[in-house]
Structure 1
Amino acid sequence: MVAVPPVCDFGWKAVDFTLQATDGQTYRLGDVAGVNGTLIMFICNHCPYVIAVRDRILRDARDLQALGIGVAAISSNDAAAYPADSFEKMCDLAEKEQFPFPYLYDEDQSVARAYGAACTPDFFGFNADLELQYRGRLDASRAQAAPADARRELFEAMKMVSETGRGPEHQIPSMGCSIKWKAA
């Protein structure tokens, strides 16, 4: 099911977490935070919206890290219902694609709930004070990648955050597969 997150709630403070990563380590928010900002992405292995732009996510993550922005990705999907999103498959994908950031497993879905994550991909861009400044899309891609010369909206917004502490006033929400919640 397609989902669209709400608009950016400027100034909302990032919620701390402690999650296991595919590299065998455990990370807290402070471990991934950057000196000039932090990008927390909710992604997963199987979503066609994520698959369509995975190479762009990796490119932008590397470019943002070079600007002093910390980056982490979190998978919160119900792995029992969606085995492609299991922790083991996350480890395989992160190694195969050489993720330049921690890929974290939110097995109990508490972090996705705390952040109000709506879809994959869902981008949360914070300034150096961990205040939300961007909740927009990567670029104009949907279930298929936009043209190669599409404006890099996430990168440009986070570059602005790194330089000014503020994100752009106009943001277009991301769109993707809904988070696959566990049955209550």
Structure 2
Amino acid sequence: MGADRPGGIAWEARSSSPETTEALGERLGRALVPGALVALIGELGSGKTTLVRGLARGLEVRAAVTSPTFTRMRALPGRLALFHFDAWRGGAPELFEQGAEFLAGDGVAVVEWAERVAEYLPRPRLELSLRHLGPDERGLTTRLVPPPEHAGPGARALALALGAALEQARTTPGLDVPLR
């Protein structure tokens, strides 16, 4: 899986379409455990909310997923509750004072624009960076923070969830996940 590489890089992938990015999110959502924190990093339009839609489907969330930019956090019930944060507008202390119990809760917390509030995010967490490669193509890179070799059971649980999602993702049409 490559999770033992320096910096905690677990894997890199190339998605050929929004549907493929969403399918990857669904596989990840199926594998995540209670208390997981996923930090999404990427420029506008890179597919963060698209990935969250799939993740929500994997968590069996029935509500529509939209970017919570103006509400800043949405709690959506499912097999595991999804706590969807948006840090676009910054204000990390206020944002996380309002939602601190959700970051350490029994559901899954996802933070879009996580690079804007990284210093306030708890560890361990899965950081997933998305970048434009073409009109519909996206590059995805994951990193466990801290790397599994320097972390406790929470990070190891995230690493196992990521590994399970990766194995399933290899069969997703339009997703290129190089073998490591």
For Structure 1 versus Structure 2, the TM-score category normalised by the shorter chain is 0.3 to 0.5
Tell me the TM-score normalised to structure 1 length: 0.34
Relative to its length, the structure with more helix (as a share) is 2
Tell me the TM-score normalised to structure 2 length: 0.35
